[in-house]
Amino acid sequence: MRLIRKSAVLAATAAAALTLGAAAPASAATASADSVHRGSVGCFNYSWGDGTVTWTVYHHNTCGSTHQFWVKTGIGSAGETCITVGGNKSGSEYFYNKPLSFGSKKGSC
């Protein structure tokens, strides 16, 4: 009789542990949801999300002609990336540093 009760208690404890273990990752994922940042500059609309290793910047040239979109991820010109985008075109770029500012130019960067 005692063996049956112990088995039932162990089974209930194991089931509770599995339930708690399954709920923990879901709540952790919800708590660390990425924030999306949106903006526009010149002919471009852009967005990017908070990343941990890389940051992806999505861009869309709303003008009918080719323009340059730049993303600054560091200090000085070494931290600037210039992207040439055709009229009414969109794309994305990956960065290993967090985007700090954005700009648009008709000519070259």
Q: What is the CATH number of the domain that holds 77?
A: 2.60.40
Contact 85, 91 (CB under 8 A): yes
pTM: 0.66
Which helix or strand (DSSP H or E) is residue 94 part of? strand 90-95
Residue 69 in contact with residue 103, Cβ under 8 Å?
yes
Locus of tokens 């112990």: 6
Identify the sign of the CA torsion 7, 13, 17, 18: positive
Q: Kindly state whether residues 76 and 90 are assigned to the same domain.
A: yes
Higher pLDDT, 16 or 54: 54
Q: Which domain holds residue 53?
A: 36-105
What integer pLDDT is reported at residue 32 of this predicted model? 46
Which has the higher per-residue pLDDT, 72 or 2?
Answer: 72
Q: What is the domain count for the chain?
A: 2
Claim to verify: residue 80 and residue 41 sit in the same structural domain:
yes
pLDDT per position as a tens digit, 25-37: 443 344 344 699 9
- Give me the helices (H) in the chain, please: 2-31
In this predicted structure, what is the pLDDT of residue 14?
A: 46
Whether residue 65 sits in one domain with residue 22 = no
Whole-angstrom distance, CA of residue 33 vs CA of residue 45: 23
- Check whether residue 7 and residue 45 sit in a common domain: no
Q: 80-101: per-residue pLDDT in tens?
A: 999 999 999 999 999 999 999 9
How far apart CA 20 and CA 42 sit, in angstroms, is 50
Examine the domain organization and report whether 48 and 89 are in the same domain: yes
